[in-house]
Chains A and B, each alone.
Chain A
Amino acid sequence: DVKVTQSSRYLVKRTGEKVFLECVQDMDHENMFWYRQDPGLGLRLIYFSYDVKMKEKGDIPEGYSVSREKKERFSLILESASTNQTSMYLCASSLLGTDYGYTFGSGTRLTVV
């Protein structure tokens, strides 16, 4: 069964901490995405990557960075966590050239206190 695995289901971090969220996919997908999901706002794209070491900003990149050193792994970094970054974070992947069929991970619920 193909999978996108997010390393943590729940995280609690303190304001100002540097936070790493990890995502691994086993489908050899080129595209990987990081979204955050908030009630009433839906899914908002933070960053995405079409290839190793490639990254592009999404709609809300401020306060975040990403790293993609290997094809299967896409990391989201909160440089200095703030309370307004408390959210559900979802990683997804897809094949290059397809306009459908994102596979999502189960999400990481991050609380910043």
Chain B
Amino acid sequence: QKEVEQDPGPLSVPEGAIVSLNCTYSNSAFQYFMWYRQYSRKGPELLMYTYSSGNKEDGRFTAQVDKSSKYISLFIRDSQPSDSATYLCATTPYGNKLVFGAGTILRVKS
């Protein structure tokens, strides 16, 4: 079993839709959770960071962690074509090494 599972998509939505991206993880000791955004032919960039359970909001983006079900989510409100990218969830099981999900390809159609 992979430590972090993520549906690779692609997920295609119309402009203005609410997008929900999700990951599950296996180790209940994971404490730090991140979402990275990766545009085509670019490296990933940190989008959101959360610690333990709860929600964190930043503009149109909300990251949510439910440690009881080992589920992490990223919500994008009022999605825009510029949000089209690959979204990677990540967590740290130990030390400084991140473990990444496979990434979900998101396409927002205008």
Inter-chain contact A48/B97, CB cutoff 8 Å: yes
What are some 7 contacts across the A-B interface (CB < 8 A)?
A40-B8, A43-B103, A94-B96, A99-B32, A101-B46, A101-B49, A104-B36
Q: Select one of A4, A43, A50 contacting B100, CB under 8 A.
A: A43
Inter-chain contact A102/B46, CB cutoff 8 Å: yes
Q: Which residues of B pack against A, CB within 8 Å?
A: 6, 8, 31-32, 34, 36, 41-46, 49, 88, 92, 96-98, 100-103
With A100-B34, A104-B44, A104-B45 as contacts: A31 and B102 at CB distance below 8 Å: no
| Total residue contacts A-B, CB cutoff 8 A | 54
Inter-chain contact B43/A90, CB cutoff 8 Å: yes
Inter-chain contact B42/A41, CB cutoff 8 Å: no
Inter-chain contact A4/B43, CB cutoff 8 Å: yes
A86 to chain B, nearest CB (A): 16
Please report the C-alpha to C-alpha distance between residue A49 and residue B65 in the assembled complex, in whole angstroms: 30
Q: How many residues of A contact B (CB 8 A)?
A: 27
Nearest chain-B residue to A39 (Cβ)?
B8
Interface majority SS on B: helix, strand, loop or mixed?
strand
Inter-chain contact A42/B96, CB cutoff 8 Å: no
Please report the C-alpha to C-alpha distance between residue A31 and residue B97 in the assembled complex, in whole angstroms: 9
Q: Which residues of A pack against B, CB within 8 Å?
A: 4, 31, 33, 40-43, 45, 48, 50, 58, 90, 92, 94, 96-107, 109
B97 to chain A, nearest CB (A): 7
List the A side residues contacting B8 at CB < 8 Å.
40
Inter-chain contact B43/A107, CB cutoff 8 Å: yes
Please report the C-alpha to C-alpha distance between residue A96 and residue B46 in the assembled complex, in whole angstroms: 17
List the B side residues contacting A101 at CB < 8 Å.
46, 49
Q: Select one of B32, B43, B101, B102 contacting A100, CB under 8 A.
A: B32
Q: Select one of A42, A45, A102, A103 contacting B102, CB under 8 A.
A: A42
A19 to chain B, nearest CB (A): 19
Nearest chain-A residue to B30 (Cβ)?
A99
